[in-house]
Amino acid sequence: MLHFPCILLQKIPWKSFFQSSAVWAMIYTDFSGSWGHYTCLSWLPTYFSEALNLNLREAAWVSILPPLASILVTSLASQFADYLITNGVETTTVRKILGDPSDSSIYMPGGHKELFSGSQWCQTIAFLSPALCMTLSSVDIGLPPWEIVGILTAGLALSSFALSGLYCTHQDISPEYASILLGITNSGGSTWNCRCGPNWFSPRLNPSWTMSLFMPSIFFYLTGTVVWLAFASSEPQKFIKDDS
């Protein structure tokens, strides 16, 4: 006789999940973001010390700046996303692009319209910001170390916009299966990265910080943005169990 958890697992529409392009978009987007996250988590302190020639104490202190800045950005991003949805901007638009591409204005309280640029992005901010900041940091344009620290801190902090993009989409498309979808995307996106990703392009194997730390992350941030904009959706989906 099957145990109760096994019966529940049999009722989950696993096949339907993997037939959804939106789910695959979330998996790849999670993978792309996790690559940058775990790579920086593993190697950014060493980069500050060896590439920017900061002493050990300075490298340790500046390594906590991106997480601290992320706390502030997370609070602002979540409030901003909720504000837009409350005022009539489509959920998919907010998750992808903060602004309706079919209308450059949104209605504000009281019925007034205010110009809102379609170039302001949510999940896209989360990926293009660190990609741009890593590009600036990897190009030799004579920036002093502390400016590079500031640029990287800003880019990695803005990646927290993903909490108002990708990580809200599971609940958007299926409240019933949101936790399972989050488990699928996190497993597909994070498991390989946290164990293997940072070591494949280790600066110990490739002495170029641009090639080992920045270029792979930039690649995945950019391709993740393309996949997200092309295939992701926050529209509710019906996942149906296939009994065949």
Burial of 86 (0-12, 13-18, 19+ CB in 10 A): exposed
Can you tell me the distance from the alpha carbon of 51 to that of 145, in angstroms, rounded to the nearest whole number?
A: 9
Can you tell me the distance from the alpha carbon of 212 to that of 207, in angstroms, rounded to the nearest whole number?
A: 8
Is the confidence at residue 212, as pLDDT, over 50?
yes
* Alpha helices, H only, 87-173: 91-96, 123-138, 145-158, 166-173
Mean pLDDT score across all residues of the chain: 78
Is the confidence at residue 115, as pLDDT, over 50?
no
Lowest-confidence pick of 3-7, 27-31, 77-81, 187-191: 3-7
∠ CA 241-92-19, nearest 5°, is: 25
What pLDDT shows up at residue 225? 92
| Full set of structural domains in the chain with CATH | 26-231 (1.20.1250.20)
Whole-model pTM above 0.95? no
Can you tell me the distance from the alpha carbon of 218 to that of 199, in angstroms, rounded to the nearest whole number?
A: 17
Phi, psi dihedrals of residue 97, rounded to the nearest 5°: -135, 130
What pLDDT shows up at residue 133? 94
How large a percentage of the chain has pLDDT more than 90? 26
For residues 64-80, give the mean pLDDT: 86
Say which residue, 140 or 115, is predicted with more confidence.
140
What pLDDT shows up at residue 211? 76
Closest Cα to residue 157, out of 122, 126, 135, 132?
Answer: 126
SS3 88: coil
